[in-house]
Structure 1
């Protein structure tokens, strides 16, 4: 669904691993008082992500997309999200597809 452009979001559980990587991005959207102070404090010391890369297992097939935004909320159940808040990574333009 990502390849066809039908699915424009990717989801990650709200766990420490993803909090440390995603919440400190400049394109992270704070909603209604959600830890915005911590986000602002850690932006200066975090690696910036502008793209997301999807790899088909251990093959060399890769798709790279721009990241439009990262937010917290409920995803679309038809795309397999759990029924609780998750990180929502909004996908932008496809940059590269490798079919090696």
Structure 2
């Protein structure tokens, strides 16, 4: 559905691995052991306490077809947290990371690369 352009969002569980990939602090909150919680960082406790989500700034996302070299590169419009569309593979009534996809840049590229491409600072 992503390849045909019908699916405009992709979902990832709110777990330590994806927090590390998608959140600015990478899931490390230096105030956690003191009882204070940084409103500019993110970790599972920040999400559940409603302190906000501060995503890393990526411009593109690359999807792979399993372990092959076949990929698709899309513009990444935003990363948010919310309840996704179950018709597109999101779990029922569960908050997830939502990757909002823009236009497809390249399909079937056979180049090795990382999944996300950061914005230049």
Stretches of structure 2 that go unaligned for 5 or more consecutive residues are 26-37, 43-51, 111-121
Max Rg structure: 2
Calculate the TM-score normalised by the size of structure 2. 0.62
Q: CA deviation at 1:13?
A: 0.1
5+ long unaligned stretches in structure 1: 26-34
CA distance in 2, matches of 1:74, 1:20: 20
Cα shift at 1:60: 1.9
Runs of 4+ in 1 over 4 A off after TM superposition: none
The two structures, once aligned, show a CA RMSD in angstroms of 2.5
Report the alpha carbon displacement of residue 9 of structure 1 after superposing the two structures with TM.
0.3
CA distance in 1, matches of 2:87, 2:68: 27
Task: Please give the TM-score of this superposition, normalised by the length of structure 1.
Answer: 0.74
The correspondence of residues 23-38 of structure 1 with structure 2, limited to 5 A, is 23-24=23-24, 36-38=39-41
Helix, strand or coil: the match of 1:50? Answer: strand
SS state at 1:70 partner: strand
Distance in 2 separating the partners of 1:77 and 1:66? 22
Bigger relative contact order, structure 1 or 2, given CA contacts below 8 A and separation 6+?
1
1:67 is aligned, of 62, 65, 76, to 76
